[in-house]
Amino acid sequence: MSAAGATTSRSVRRVWLPRLDAGDRLRAVIIAVLLAFIVIAFPQLLSGYWVTVFTSVTIYAVVALGLGILMGRTGLVSLGQIALLALASWVGARLFFATGLPFPIVLLGSGLITMVLGTLVGLPALRLSGLYLALITLMLAGAITVVLTATNFPNGGGGFLGHVETDRGAAAVRRPAIAHGDTAYLRYTVIVAAILFLIALIHVRAKPGRAWAAIRQSEPAALAGGVNVTLYKMWAFALASFLTGVAGGLLAADSGQLFITTFPTSDSITLLAVVLMGGIYSLWGAVVAGLLMQFLPALLNNWGVNADWLTIIFGIGVMQVLLTAPQGLVYQFPRDMAKLGRRALGLVGRVRQPARERAG
Amino acid sequence: MIEVKDLTVRFGGVTPLDHVTVEFAEGTNGLIGPNGAGKTTFFNVLSGFVRPQNGDVTAFGENLLAMAHFRRARWGLRRTFQTEQAIEELTIFDNVLMVLEHSSRDGASSREEQVLNAISFVGLTSSPYARVGTLGAAERRLVEIARAVVGKPRVVLLDEPAAGLPDEETQRMGGVIQKIPQEIGATVILVDHDMSLVSACCAKTAVLDFGKLIAAGDTSEVLRSDQVKRAYLGADAEVAAA
């Protein structure tokens, strides 16, 4: 290539690298401060009930992150993520009861085993896409739920299934020695989730993330660019399943005793709705999705409102997001707040702007 | 040098490519023909998206059809698509890097340098770190060309790279395409309906009509030939294919 090109490029690079580093550094500092607040101060402010709610929020944010990787980044629709979470909880609980391994190792094992299982579930994705893939994953979710209803979750019993019917023999999944209490366990969960978000971020910013973006744009164009589409689709399923697997391990130790009623198949669809609302292209969207899925029902319960209303609210919410801000609430909220602020400032002596300007 | 021998593709009762035998020399080659002539199908055979019923494609002495589709990029085959396929969410830099990191054959110069060179080769004036979603149509098309020329490709297939662009942008695009053989060292096959672009860029041109090769040779002669004019003016199949 031309020598002139090379010189221009060097000057461009000098301009660019510090700029990006500064932005990234600032972002990292903000996130670190936020994380420190959530880990250190936040649990102190919460009563017992809200501590468990926010533990669930954190766990479901990780599950939402997995779906975001599949759908937002790679364009693979999955309606089976909650069933996969149930499977992961089963695996996690089984590992906790079967081994005396340290808690983090069991989490890792739960993640890796679920990764293998989830990737197998993802095999149809290599041939299917869109509605058909959604249907297949929903069917698989149903199948997993049926099987887990029959086998129940491990509670300290013997044999492969590890389940005893009587209350006498039943035991709770243990928590890490350093995080027995609910507050300590919330902190533990947030730290594990932060590590998982970091793993996802590294993937998205690196070669796999670019390959996924290419696949989502167009499979033929990705192939023409040399992307091994099969490999990277499997990779997306593997990462999403790993994240869900670790979340399942966390959930097992969070609830102690697991029941299939925690994982209704319809929750997989709700998860898709909240992920869409939160923002499917953003890692922050997964945090919002976790809040919508676990915090909002708890809030309604607290107010004495039937949480079934959420199905309707989420339905309207998804429609609202798809129509006015396909990128989700994480983009829409700051944008609308900024707009509101500008409007409030410019209100004096001004003709009011139409309420809903076209999204920029 | 790309040699195509007796290439036939059938989809049920349709024969988009019918015993096509043609050679593409080094430099920039035109491939023209009315809509439905089989140009894109031909590109799809080269890319590996369509398996031909019959025939061989040899490029620089290697049997192209024996390679898995995604490996052809690593071998040195690149293409663009009729509908522009630059990835909106990624930056220009990441768009080009994506292709380079999946198809790179040599580690001679740093990847960053290769990517920036490809971007400056196509003459993009926006910052390389601008998101493609913020660019206009012409610039997105240039991003696609940058993706096609990064990492020393051997063959670059351009499928209507100037479709939908205004005249001055088409000219700019033509200038970039003309530089590819010399500066990148790749053989180019250009499909386009814009005859001024084809004659500006291509010394040689092949013409397809209803899946058959009806003319090949020097671009000016080919464009003057009666048969080609008939094909473009919409004469019926028998006359055109005779």
| Confidence at residue A169, expressed as pLDDT on a 0 to 100 scale | 61
Percent of chain B at pLDDT > 90 equals 60
Cross-chain Cβ contact B98/A221 below 8 Å: no
Instruction: Please check whether residue B108 is in contact with residue A235, taking contact to mean a CB–CB distance below 8 angstroms.
Output: no
Which residue of B89, B134, B141 is the best one to mutate when testing the A interface, meaning the one whose CB has the most A CBs within 10 A?
Answer: B89
Cross-chain Cβ contact A9/B85 below 8 Å: no
Instruction: Collect all residues of chain A within an 8 Å Cβ-Cβ radius of residue B98.
Output: 210-211, 213-214, 225, 227
Instruction: Collect all residues of chain B within an 8 Å Cβ-Cβ radius of residue A2.
Output: 117, 120-121, 183
A350 touches chain B (CB under 8 A): no
Instruction: Please give the residue that has the higher pLDDT: either A151 or A167.
Output: A151
A35 touches chain B (CB under 8 A): no
For B76, nearest residue in chain A (alpha carbons): A226
User: Which residues 202-221 of A have a C-beta within 8 angstroms of B?
Assistant: 207, 210-211, 213-214, 216-218, 220-221
In chain B the domains, ranked by start, together with CATH numbers, are 2-241 (3.40.50.300)
**Gap between the terminal Cα atoms of chain B:** 28
Q: How does pLDDT run across A54-96, given as a tens digit for each residue?
A: 999 999 999 999 999 999 899 888 899 999 999 999 999 989 8
DSSP states of B33-75 as a string?
-STTSSHHHHHHHHHTSS--SEEEEEETTEEGGGS-TTHHHHH
Which sequence spans correspond to the domains of chain A? Answer: 18-265
Q: How does pLDDT run across A301-353, given as a tens digit for each residue?
A: 889 888 788 888 898 988 888 888 778 888 788 888 888 888 888 875 555 44
A12 touches chain B (CB under 8 A): yes
Q: How does pLDDT run across B92-132, given as a tens digit for each residue?
A: 999 999 999 888 766 556 888 889 999 999 999 889 999 99
Give CA–CA dist A20/A26, Å, rounded.
10
| Confidence at residue A18, expressed as pLDDT on a 0 to 100 scale | 37
SS3 (DSSP) at A43: helix
Helices A309-324 + A329-345 axis angle, to 10: 70
User: Which whole-number Å values give the CA distances from A132 to A135, A136, A266, in the listed order?
Assistant: 5, 6, 18
- Architecture of the domain made up of A18-265: Orthogonal Bundle (1.10)
ipTM of the complex: 0.87
| Confidence at residue B106, expressed as pLDDT on a 0 to 100 scale | 62
**At residue A41, what is the residue type?**
A
User: Which whole-number Å values give the CA distances from A62 to A57, A245, B241, in the listed order?
Assistant: 9, 10, 61
For B116, nearest residue in chain A (alpha carbons): A9
Cross-chain Cβ contact B89/A227 below 8 Å: no
User: Which whole-number Å values give the CA distances from A140 to A89, A210, A266, B11, in the listed order?
Assistant: 17, 29, 13, 34
| Confidence at residue A251, expressed as pLDDT on a 0 to 100 scale | 94
Confidence check: pLDDT of A12 > 80: no
